[in-house]
Structure 1
Amino acid sequence: MYKLSRRGLLLSSAALAVGAGMGRAFAQSDASATLKLQAFGGDAQLTAINNAIGRFNEKHPNVRVEVAIDPISTGWGDYVTKVFSQFNSGQAADVYGTAIETFQAFSSRGLFIPLNDYVAANSGFSDFAPSLFEQASYNGNINYIPIGWNNIMINYNRDLFDAAGVAYPSRDWTWEEFREVAKALTVKDASGNVSQFGYEVPNQNFFVQPWFFTNGTGVLNDDWTASNMLDPKVAETLQFLHDLIHVDGVSPIPAKDTMDNQFFAGQIAMISRGHWIVENAKEANLDMDIAVVPRKETGITVIGFGGYAVAKTSPHPDLAQALITELTSVETQIEEGEGGGGVPGRKSAAETEAFLAFPPSAALYYETLPETKAVPSPANFQEVEKIFIRHYTAMMAGQVSIADGVKAADAELNESFARLKQQLGG
């Protein structure tokens, strides 16, 4: 869901102290400790996190917070593996920032403490959409405090639309209309060499889900317990994407790397992304806007969101919760949203003038929230994601037929679910 261009692991530590002479109204805590925070994101998130830690240290001047931030450059499956390794080696952080793709994987193994009492005692959380807390729960326990979210939209270059004389997308455009627009925005020379693609067929699990949802289907069943790859609508969806590449020539074959840079450089007119792309679009001075995903049967797009959790191994759960209070505060949400992170979980933070200023249709993020469906995120997500993407990219490349690909993916996915059932004692 939150793919960012920066690679590697950025390490930061914050140990800010503000003395009593500052005249603040709150009472300072005498608690002394070191908290480890494992976060995710890019520069916008890191800046907002460090500022939140500054506010936390005004109240807890003797608590040092060490921050590690992961850009999730290789997907959430690898992040799951990394966190498991930290717990298994006794190196777990106190607070984890993570995303819905990982929620069941972590909660089903009891890695985090329930936060029900903490949420009930914090009236400030009423600013969050209730659905976020529902999806942040497992077996009746809230394990994650929501932060930013992303619903995949069609991000498009308005300059390229204008140059081609193509009208901007409507709220009710269809797959076939999308296809014709992508053709009109693809530029080829006399030899057929493409200098500008109309669209980038996605190469990531999160990005491609809306194509299934708008066709009334999904790669997994509704409760994420089995494969749904043999649904004829799945094959129909894959064929549509395949034909965008191999029949219409409006997209390159999905490769390992995303093509954000080509989009920013004006070499691709449309891509499927979330709000996190805003940060880099601003830096590139790109005249970008967003449109709803084109519909076939429905207008449903995918949603993914992040949350903070407290490790069950943390020796300082109360301080960890106090830190989360600052990490999810209105100030932090506004800073992350305006800086180009995810859409703020607090609706008030998504109504500021700066947030709504770019892209021009930024209000669509919240307007389309009722028409979203969570990215399929079972407890074996790290396997499911890799299995699906491996077969998906082979089908998109034409290495296997759609018919053979869905059968192979179905068998492998159901083997993974059978293993999961055994592991969880089902």
Structure 2
Amino acid sequence: MALGAALTALTLAAAGCTGSDPVDDGKDAAEGYDPNAKVTIQWWTGQTEDMQKVSEDLAKEYMKLHPNVTIESSTGASTTDELLTKLSAGFTGGNYPDISYAFGSWATQLAESGRTQNLKTFVGTPEIAWDDFPASARATATVGDKVIGFPAIVDNLALIYNKKLFDAAGLAHPTDDWSWDDFRAAAKKLTNPATNTYGTAYSVSGSEDTTWHLWPLLWQRGGKIIDGKKPTFNSDAGVQALESLRQMAVDDKSMYLDQTDEKYQPLFNDGHVGMVMTGPWVLHETQEAGVDYGVVNLPGLNGDHQTVSGPDLWVLFNKKDPNRAGASRDFIKWLTSKEIDPKWTMANGNLPLRASEKNTPEFATYVKDYPGAQKFFDNLQNCKQPRPTVPGYVEMSGYVGDAVSKVLQGAAKPKEALDEAAKKSASALEG
């Protein structure tokens, strides 16, 4: 999310917290739930037109099994990015859904609204099999002592490369054991100004897409994003991480700098970028573009190939009605089950939510239909830590994104840019 939008959302979320009808009183929202009661729940899916149709079909399937439950499914907003603003405004007026899709980076803001359910006890029951979800997704859904939702999408960053460009340059294909030095050397050799071909690409829009690509390089060097409420991404590890990117962008000129977040993947698909650090969501379009591609772990440092995951969530809200709360829980439990999840995630080219799905026929079909999907699934093991779910993360991300963008465009040095971002982030993290 761009910084301006993030700040607007933060303001609205704060306004929502001071509304006249707080509901987070510490009680279980589903206490007294009657599973046979007639109830209507609202589900904001945040999906595109095609996936909205899938959502509606799944809602119908659930309602057929539970005729006492009516699920009103809608996208909730014209784009997923607009959901947070819509939710925040709804908290003030009391017009918010029982369930909503949410980016993981919104978790803290939503938890602080006072409108979320606390599912900590619910997810601890054996029937949920909470440990079957990736650790990074579980951590993202957990804010302090609360669990506010279920994983909706799990992903991670790996390295996708164009085999044809590597072969044409006479380069050996990347491997899971590659170092960042290997990556830089290959990017330099793949770059050809005469054909407008770059070795790699990076977003300089200043959005979270800019920021979260830096975190694996920071973590691999032993750095931390924050320590408590103190920003620490400007440590020596952070400076070294950003310097390694600066060398490719400024010194080698082997990195295409995308001002929009939206150009580098099409350029890869068109054969003008040799390697991109991206996630499983691109497999469908890359395959449709006819690219002969491969997928390996992110390059590493001293054998550490740690990556970052960006789980999205189904957040459940408290409407002061135990039957709505209970029905919402039961629906999401069903939707994210081993049996139903393949209809939602893998049907859309996404990774399965649960580790146990690797043994299903649907997963076998998925990895066959989407080359590289198995690597992304296995790469979840390299997601060692989540992005922080703390107040101020979204605002901090904007400051870091701006710093990275300046450095990669030659307008600032890594240390001074990160120090400035840390100074600005300190007040946001303090709340």
TM-score tier after normalising by the smaller chain length: 0.7 to 0.9
Corresponding letter in the other structure for 1:133: R
Q: Which residue of 1 aligns with 2:111?
A: 107
Taking the TM superposition and a 5 Å limit, the aligned residue runs for 1:66-145 are 66-68=73-75, 79-121=83-125, 123-125=127-129, 128-129=132-133, 131=135, 132-145=137-150
Q: In structure 2, which of residues 320, 338, 341 is the aligned counterpart of residue 333 of structure 1?
A: 341
- Look up the match of 1:410: 422
C-alpha displacement of 1:41: 4.5
Q: Tell me the distance in 2 between the aligned counterparts of 1:135 and 1:303.
A: 10
Q: Match of 2:411?
A: 399
Shift of the 139–375 alpha-carbon distance from structure 1 to 2, 3 Å rule, reads: closer
SS at match of 2:159: strand
Aligned residues: 383
Which stretch of the first structure deviates more once superposed, 242-251 or 362-371? 362-371
Task: Find the counterpart in structure 1 of residue 390 from structure 2.
Answer: 378
The one-letter code sitting in structure 2 at the alignment partner of 1:181 is A
Aligned equivalent of 2:380? 369
Matched, 1:318 2:326: yes
- In the aligned structure 2, how far is the partner of 1:59 from the partner of 1:122? 22
CA contact (8 A) 2:151 2:313 kept: yes
Residue 127 of structure 1 and its aligned partner are, at CA, apart by 7.0
**Code of the aligned partner of 2:376:** Y
Listed as ranges, the matches of 1:35-74 within 5 Å are: 35-42=41-48, 45-61=51-67, 63-68=70-75
User: Shift of the alpha carbon at 1:329?
Assistant: 2.8
Once the two structures are TM-superposed, the CA of residue 176 in structure 1 deviates from its matched residue by: 0.7
What's the CA shift for 1:272? 1.3
Preserved contact between residue 218 and residue 238 of structure 2 (Cα < 8 Å): yes
CA deviation after TM superposition for structure 1 residue 107, in Å: 1.7
Distance 1:43 1:267, change over 3 A: farther
Tell me which of 300, 305, 312 is aligned to 1:299: 305
Identity of aligned residues (%): 19
* Amino acid paired to 1:210: P
Structure-2 residue corresponding to 1:177: 182
Instruction: Give the counterpart letter for 2:72 in structure 1.
Output: V
Query: Are the aligned partners of 1:95 and 1:310 in contact in 2 as well (CA < 8 Å)?
Result: yes
Q: Are the structure 2 counterparts of residues 416 and 119 from structure 1 closer, same or farther at C-alpha, using a change threshold of 3 Å?
A: closer
Q: Encode CA deviations 1:10-54: one digit per residue, 9 max, x unaligned.
A: xxxxxxxxxxxxxxxxxxx87544422122354674344233212
The more displaced of 116-125 and 301-310 is 116-125
What secondary structure sits across from 1:286 in the alignment?
Answer: coil
Cα distance in 1 for partners of 2:273, 2:76 equals 30
Corresponding residue for residue 263 of structure 1: 268
- Distance in 2, matches of 1:39 and 1:388, equals 29
Runs of 4+ in 1 over 4 A off after TM superposition: 29-33, 41-45, 69-74
What displacement does 1:322 show?
Answer: 2.5
Moved more, 400-409 or 330-339: 330-339
Q: Partners of 1:187 and 1:35 in 2: how far apart?
A: 55
What is the identity, as a one-letter code, of the residue corresponding to 1:165? Answer: G
The residue aligned with 1:387 is 399
Secondary structure of 1:416's counterpart equals: helix
CA contact (8 A) 2:349 2:366 kept: no
Letter matched to residue 408 of structure 2: M
Which shifted more, 138-147 or 93-102? 138-147
8 Å contact from structure 2 (residues 281, 350) kept in 1: yes
The gaps in structure 2 that reach 5 residues or longer are 2-34
Deviation at 1:299, TM superposition (A): 1.5
Match of 1:18 in 2: none
Maintained 8 Å contact 2:41/2:72: yes
Q: Which moved more, 1:47-56 or 1:147-156?
A: 47-56
* Superposed CA offset, 1:180-216 (max 9, x none): 1112222222xxxx52111012342223322222222
Matches of 1:283 and 1:69, distance apart in 2:
29
Q: CA offset at residue 178 of structure 1?
A: 0.3
- CA-atom RMSD in angstroms: 2.7
| Map of 2:371 onto structure 1 | 360
Alignment match of 1:277 (pick from 270, 275, 282) = 282
* Structure 1 residues 298-340: Cα deviation after superposition (integer angstroms, max 9, x where no partner): 2111112122222122642122123213321334421344334
| Deviation of the 1:248 alpha carbon | 1.0
Determine which structure has the larger helix proportion and give its number: 2
The 2-side partners of 1:337 and 1:269 are apart by 28
Task: Give the SS at the match of 1:113.
Answer: coil
Specify whether residues 401 and 127 from structure 1 end up closer, same or farther in structure 2 by C-alpha distance, changes over 3 A only.
closer
Q: 1:196 maps to what in 2?
A: 197
Cα contact 2:123–2:130 (8 A) shared by 1:
no
TM-score, normalising length from structure 2? Answer: 0.80
Is the alpha carbon distance of 1:160 and 1:321 closer, same or farther for their aligned partners in structure 2, counting shifts above 3 Å? Answer: same
Contact 1:106/1:379 (8 A) holds in 2:
no
CA distance in 2, matches of 1:262, 1:314: 49
1:49–1:327 Cα contact (<8 Å) kept: no
Q: Provide, for residues 102-136 of structure 1, a one-character-per-residue CA deviation record: whole Å limited to 9, x for no partner.
A: 22222233321112343345615357236243542
